[in-house]
Amino acid sequence: MDKNEIISRIGYFRTKAKLSQKALSIEIDMNIGYINRLESKKDFLPSLDVLLKIIKACGVTVEEFFYEDIYNHREDKYILSKLKELPCEKREALLKLL
């Protein structure tokens, strides 16, 4: 994942969490200009510590933030949980079917 994708996801999850740039900046104890510059100019990345604070403030997990298909994370996770509940022979039969 490149830096533009990370920045794009920050904006996506911030919006999904219904947080304004100002609200997010307050939540993570940063200046609003920092969030604005991060999302609009896309010329730098937050530190790992700040990124983790952003992820937490947006109410998502690190796994969900970095998941390949951010639009279907919950559905995919639900499907996987149901597959894990199946007996081994049924999982194998389902895989053959697919």
What does the domain layout of the chain look like in residue ranges?
1-66, 69-98
∠ CA 12-18-21, nearest 5°, is 75
pTM over 0.85: no
Distance of CA 88 to the CA centre of its chain: 31
- What's the CATH code, domain 1-66? 1.10.260.40
* Count of beta carbons in the 10 Å neighbourhood of residue 77: 14
Instruction: Quote the crossing angle between the two packed helices 3-16 and 48-57, to the nearest 10°.
Output: 30
pLDDT per residue as tens digits for the range 29-51: 999 899 999 988 777 889 999 99
Phi, psi of 60 (to 5 degrees): -120, 165
Residue 55 has pLDDT above 90, yes or no: yes
pLDDT per residue as tens digits for the range 73-92: 889 989 888 888 999 898 88
